[in-house]
Structure 1
């Protein structure tokens, strides 16, 4: 009798384990997707109504290249991470002039479309394929950036700097 009880108990454990594995596998491979919430996730606060769980984050910025010509003209390329998509980024070209003992921004322009770049390749190694500047008037600037390691570099985007202002070439 005890032998039959042990055998039945062992089969019960095997059956329970197999059922749990089947349910788990079924849930991870083919079940319906989780429904989207109707409203943003919030957390209750003591004595108050619902409050948003996260605060808006500030845009992350990273300078990816800079060039100084002489003592009065400076160019920078800055990657700005997208607020909507954490994998996307925008790039801006900024021109600075040295006035009164300090660098002052004289103009800025986007390089490509807004949020058209990928953040991680853009802020990683070898992100700048070409960033050429010259001290002639008007000063030519050419920019080519890494799209992805497998795609390679973007076509060069050309600008001219006339009296501290950026003009697309």
Structure 2
């Protein structure tokens, strides 16, 4: 009985091998030849070098705070994820003035250093420690953000807005 099952197994392997050989031979000898590629630039060859350059990456951004003072000013804090380090981020303060029925950006400035913040704490739940604005002239703006949960909040950075322009205080 064991001998018979070995015989069936060996015949099955031989039959599968013969079938594969027949299919391969039939494919190479019969039928039309493979079509040539229509686009010679479709794939880079060894002589062409590296792949063509891709489009630049879009910077991921997330608005973390907004303050609107009547129809005079609108302030936003936006986190900008670093393209060099996915864990780093920058923060941009933007000032908008209401003109001709729409908010128009009048100025922008960085809060802190370029890529000087951590992306995940900055875009998390308690990222804004302080963001105060006032409608006086010049308008004071104070910003303090979470560095990390274990370190806590950053020192407050102060700005003044005069005629729609940001002036570090």
TM-score by length of 2: 0.70
> How many Å apart are 1:54 and its aligned residue?
5.9
Deviations 1:31-64 (A, max 9, x none): xxxxxxxxxxxxxx63543305865311111100
1:121 aligns with 2:121: yes
The 1:47–1:107 alpha-carbon spacing in structure 2 relative to 1, beyond 3 Å, is: closer
Long gaps (5+) in structure 2 = 1-41
- Match of 1:56, SS state, is coil
* 1:48-67 map, 5 Å: 48=45, 49=48, 50-51=50-51, 55-67=55-67
Distance in 2 between residues matched to 1:146 and 1:101, nearest whole Å: 35
Aligned alpha-carbon RMSD (Å): 1.5
Which secondary structure state, in structure 2, belongs to the residue aligned with residue 121 of structure 1? Answer: helix
DSSP-derived class of the 1:120 partner: helix
Q: Paired residue for 1:73?
A: 73
Instruction: Give the total of aligned pairs.
Output: 125
Deviation per CA, 1:46-85: give whole Å up to 9, x if none. 3543305865311111100000001121000000001110
Q: TM-score, normalised by structure 1?
A: 0.70
Runs of 4+ displaced beyond 4 Å: 52-55
1:7 maps to: none
Structure whose CA Rg is larger: 2
Name 1:46's counterpart in structure 2.
43
For residues 55 and 85 of structure 2, what CA distance do their matches in structure 1 show?
16
